[in-house]
Amino acid sequence: MSSAVVEVRDLTKRFGEFTAVDGISFDIQRGEILGLLGPNGAGKTTTFQMMLGLVTPTSGAIRMFGLDLQTHRGEILQQVNFSSTYISLPYALTVEENLTVIGRLYGLSNIPGRIDEMVKKLEMQEWRHKLTRKLSSGQMTRLTLAKALLTEPKILFLDEPTASLDPDIAHKIRAILLDERRASGLSILYTSHNMREMEEMSDRIIFLQRGKIVAEGTAQDIVARFGQADLEDVGSTGIHG
């Protein structure tokens, strides 16, 4: 029996005559971190949006936990969460109030206890009562990650999770994510422009270009395939399927 918690098959999204995602297929196993890489316009954001049920595919299928996303969206998304540098939370609420709202939306028990745990883990104690609109970009990044981990998801989608963070905090965030994976079998779909981070975090990597998968494997496999020194060189020299 497959241990895949995510199954994507022939996923395609067209906007008029433009094909943003072109027939991609992949799985994510329980406890696996899958890196999704590609230049701007490669289809990463559209793929994330379809997997979160925000955009309807033109064709193809997405299954999570063995269930079809289109017909079991609510049930699936209770077990999924998302963090991105490019999203925001209600500015008029404090950090703690925002986390409380998320906890209530997901029907969590012991919301104050979970918030205390996240605040401590992500070193947010000094600004937990601060208005969200007054947060720095690095603080906002940590808040969106706290929002994502608060609900104890089984699948986590991370878009640039350490952007805007100081290197020491970014290192701690990566360690927290790896600890969460080890402790709970958390599966993660991860994208970042930081190639060293992708090498460190990802069990496997998929490269998208013009909506197609043009390379797939471990970081070492991909580097060897393209005859480069590291992922940074692979990305800068371009990939051709």
Closest CA to 160 of 146, 144, 172: 144
> Residue 205 above 70 pLDDT?
yes
CA atoms within 13 A on the CB side of 233: 10
Say which CATH number the domain at 188 has.
Answer: 3.40.50.300
Of the listed ranges 2-6, 17-21, 222-226, the one predicted with least confidence: 222-226
- Distance between CA 60 and CA 10 in Å, rounded? 5
* Nearest residue to 216 via CA among 66, 38, 64: 38
The length of the chain, given as a count of residues = 241
From 114, 133, 152, the end of a domain falls on 152
3-state secondary structure of 88: coil
pLDDT for 72 equals: 96
The last residue of one of the domains, among 129, 152, 175, is 152
CA pair distance 183, 176, nearest whole angstrom: 10
CA distance 84 to 129: 22
Asked if 94 and 125 sit in the same domain, the reply is yes
pLDDT at 27 over 90: yes
Express each pLDDT in 83-140 by its tens digit: 988 888 999 999 999 999 999 999 999 999 999 999 999 999 999 999 999 999 889 9
Average pLDDT over every residue of 61-81? 95
- Answer whether residue 6 shows pLDDT above 90: yes
Q: Structural domain tally of the chain?
A: 2
Partner residues linked to 19 by β-bridges: 14
Residues 75 and 179 in one domain: yes
Average per-residue pLDDT in the chain? 91
Residue 131 to residue 9: CA distance in whole angstroms:
42
Question: What pLDDT is attached to residue 2?
Answer: 62
Please state the pTM of the whole predicted model: 0.90
For 147-164, what is each residue's pLDDT tens digit? 999 999 999 999 988 888
CA 91 to chain centre: 23
Confidence at residue 239, expressed as pLDDT on a 0 to 100 scale? 55
